[in-house]
Amino acid sequence: MAALLEPPPPFSNLHLSSSSSSISFHTQKPNFLRLQNNQSKPILLYLHSPPPLLLKPLYCSALSSGAIDPPQPKPPPIEDIPNPNPSGGERRDSISIPSSSSGSTTESRKKDRRKTVKLAWEKLVRWSRSWRNKNKTDVLQRTKKVVVLGGGSFGTAMAAHVANNKAEMEVTMLLRDPVVCLSINESHYNCKYFPEHKLPDNVIATTDAKTALDDADFCLHAVPVQFSSSFLEDISEHVNSSLPIISLSKGLELNTLRMMSQIIPQALGNPRQPFVALSGPSFALELMKKLPTAMVVASKDRKLASSVQQLLSSQHLRISTSSDVTGVEIAGALKNVLAIAAGIVEGMDLGNNSMAALVAQGCSEIRWLATKMGGKAATITGLSGSGDIMLTCFVNLSRNRTLGVRLGKGETLDDILSSMNQVAEGVSTAGAVIALAQKYNVKMPVLTAVARIIDNELTPQKAVLELMGLPQVEEV
């Protein structure tokens, strides 16, 4: 205890006493307590907190009578009290209980919290630098040519992205439309999909498969799923058996229920064709604008996945790797069907509660089917699952969501499709999803309802009533 060395203060005559001791309060400073007994000098104690229960009757009487003043909110620091009489007199000690609500303590906690956050961030940065140095490869330096199959919006955006990663690299787009081909080569614009975004000078276009595929180090496949098999069969003689195919296409083949990881090797006649699936929340327009984006590359060959990661990564595109090809592909295919359902809810103006319930249910259905097919549940909750689902279901740039909105407002599917210049993969995928659900014995009410609406077997209004009338079961 630290000594309080100021002249003895006057004490009130309100006190507790016995034959051997007495207790009394300071008249102006009720936090000071005077203890007196017959065997020692008086002791003066200082209390931060209210007096103990034993002393409260005396304390309250002193307050009500005006004999003492109310306690001070902030007591003076012990070290600031002068010591005019260090040699003797009444002994004064202090009992101090720290207050967690004091200004100094709050400020100290803020500093500690800021320090913790700063250290955590510095640790993350150090880990990132260490990882990059350890995993640094010369894939980009060694790559001289990349071919892109297809000249749609996403294929064009990825061609521009890869070309921007290395100016000395040739990026060749294999197209069927000679007008778009001419536009890219002469003015460096894709006149059909990106007439306002100039492409890098090292992006060129051709309609000749042999010219495009000769000496290519990597191939980006951006042809719609339903046309992929016939397209690849036509060019298979020019595809090197060791050429890695990076699939940008999402969906299921309608009649065969095949994923791109099955379509590509079979169409090329090479079961060992190196394959990588690229997926994740990404709109072509935002890639063209170089806005921050994150995606996933999935391959059973971890070394190949790492190589593609190095090829595609940039300051505005972050690439993660996965070995769960099935999970990534199923999530990428089924999210298009779910986006149509989300669009229907929006078009019918059913509100935010309905939208949240629908998307949550749809996510569960996708997870059920993916895991039955051998995919991982963690993939469905990750970037290529929930991340892609949220983007496609909630943002107006989504073709499938836009189609759903128009269906919800009463337009016919034929009218909608005839007015679109891009493919909405969810339309053809919906039927395949139901066939897969039956094959793997998975109940998928939301996605089944979408398939029935597309087949004109159910109106959106009737679908809502039927979904709301389903049995209410325990959530799993």
Inform me whether the pLDDT recorded for 368 exceeds 90. yes
Work out the angle at residue 431's Cα, subtended by the Cα atoms of residues 436 and 415, and round it to the nearest 5 degrees.
165
Q: Residue 316: which pLDDT band, with cuts at 50, 70 and 90?
A: very high
Per-residue pLDDT tens over the stretch 3-38: 444 444 454 444 444 445 555 555 555 555 565 555
Strand 218-221 vs strand 145-149: parallel, antiparallel, or unpaired? parallel
Q: Strands (DSSP E) along 18-57, which ranges?
A: 21-26, 32-37, 43-47
Inform me whether the pLDDT recorded for 57 exceeds 90. no
Average pLDDT over residues 147-163: 96
The distance from CA 253 to its chain's CA centroid, rounded to whole angstroms, is 29
Secondary structure (3-state) at 365: helix
Question: Domains in the chain and their CATH numbers?
Answer: 139-323 (3.40.50.720), 327-469 (1.10.1040.10)
118 is catalytic: no
H-helix segments, 214-323: 225-235, 260-268, 284-288, 302-312
Token digits for 22?
């007495």
Highest mean pLDDT among 72-81, 145-154, 419-428: 145-154
> Could you tell me the pTM of the whole model?
0.74
Strand 203-206 vs strand 32-37: parallel, antiparallel, or unpaired? unpaired
Instruction: Kindly report each contact of residues 51-60 with a partner whose C-beta sits within 8 Å and lies 24 or more positions away, as own/partner.
Output: 54/16, 55/16, 55/23, 58/14, 58/15, 58/16, 58/23, 58/25, 59/25, 59/30
Q: Is the backbone of residue 145 left (phi > 0), alpha (psi -120 to 50) or beta?
A: beta
Q: Residue 93: which pLDDT band, with cuts at 50, 70 and 90?
A: very low
Least confident range from 20-29, 115-124, 229-238, 314-323: namely 20-29
Catalytic one among 56, 74, 198, 335? Answer: 335
Inform me whether the pLDDT recorded for 438 exceeds 80. yes
Inform me whether the pLDDT recorded for 436 exceeds 80. yes
**CB-side exposure of 27: number of CA atoms within 13 Å?**
8
Average pLDDT over residues 69-79: 50
Least confident range from 76-85, 113-122, 300-309: namely 76-85
Q: Are 148 and 130 in contact (CB under 8 A)?
A: no
